[in-house]
């Protein structure tokens, strides 16, 4: 049975896509993502003291906020939650939340992670490396693994927030309102454009990675998949898929 707390994007907007697409209300998505944000922000000070590592988007956000005199490390995550709350208020959705909606969203998000992991195996993983994953994990220190898990959660949160919720929502608005494209055409184009930006972003900036053809193609494919999940099931689902996928790589020693 479909979640009754939020209509589909086409029902809510007359065949126009809106932000936070998918069948779940903004409040449901906020509550589902709240534990991830709290975990990341609570663990990050301990991780950063040891490794000086922040997720790139988190670090960029902190630098931008510091110019406004806002220096608390947890502000990017807090502002993400406030953004979801603002969307909820803007859409005038009901404030009631059914507990089964929360568990349903978590459950389906885990299932949506499986195709992304299969895509990763097809693109980048030699069989011998898969067989050696257990040994690699056994040799890794628990602190290193914990740091990878924290950063994996941050990657899911901040990359989906920027590339899907912000960028794709902006592209959908522009393509439909300014270029007068149909809903289907604008969604397809927004998914592909956001995936291209998502893939290219790894190779720009002071800490950019060395270009690898297969890795780039995988990130494009992953971006298209995550964008499709965002359109079909919403921001919270694509975020959990992204974070769960990264955590699985950390646990298997593949990252």
Residue-range domain boundaries for the chain: 22-252
> What's the N-to-C CA distance of the chain in angstroms?
37
Task: Please give the chain's pLDDT, 255 residues, in tens.
Answer: 444 444 444 444 445 555 777 899 999 999 999 999 999 999 988 886 555 566 677 777 777 778 878 777 788 899 999 999 999 998 888 999 999 999 999 999 999 999 999 998 887 666 445 444 433 333 344 458 888 899 999 999 999 999 999 999 999 999 999 999 999 999 999 999 999 999 998 887 656 668 878 888 899 999 999 999 999 999 999 999 999 999 998 888 754
Residue 154, classified by CB atoms within 10 Å of its CB into exposed (0-12), middle (13-18) or buried (19+), is buried
Contact 135, 129 (CB under 8 A): no
Nearest-angstrom CA–CA distance, 43 and 56: 16
pTM: 0.85
């Amino acid at each position: 049975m479909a979640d009754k707390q939020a209509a589909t994007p086409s029902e809510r907007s007359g065949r126009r896509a809106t932000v936070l697409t998918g069948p779940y209300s903004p409040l449901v998505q906020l509550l589902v993502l709240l534990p991830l944000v709290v975990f990341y922000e609570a663990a990050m000070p301990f991780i950063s003291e040891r490794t000086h590592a922040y997720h790139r988007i988190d670090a960029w956000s902190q630098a931008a906020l510091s110019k406004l005199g806002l220096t608390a490390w947890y502000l990017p995550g807090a502002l993400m939650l406030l953004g979801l709350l603002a969307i909820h208020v803007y859409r005038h959705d009901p404030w009631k939340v059914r507990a089964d909606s929360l568990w349903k969203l978590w459950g389906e998000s885990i299932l949506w992670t499986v195709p992304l992991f299969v895509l990763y195996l097809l693109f980048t993983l030699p069989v011998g490396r898969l067989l050696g994953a257990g040994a690699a994990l056994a040799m890794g220190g628990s602190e290193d693994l914990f740091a990878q898990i924290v950063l994996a959660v941050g990657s899911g949160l901040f990359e989906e927030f920027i590339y899907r919720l912000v960028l794709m929502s902006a592209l959908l608005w522009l393509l439909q309102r300014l270029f007068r494209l149909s809903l289907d055409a604008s969604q397809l184009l927004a998914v592909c454009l956001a995936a291209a930006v998502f893939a290219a972003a790894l190779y720009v900036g002071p800490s950019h990675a060395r270009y690898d053809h297969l890795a780039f193609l995988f990130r494009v494919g992953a971006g298209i998949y995550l964008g499709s999940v965002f359109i079909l099931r919403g921001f919270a689902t694509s975020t959990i898929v992204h974070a769960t996928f990264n955590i699985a790589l950390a646990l298997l020693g593949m990252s």
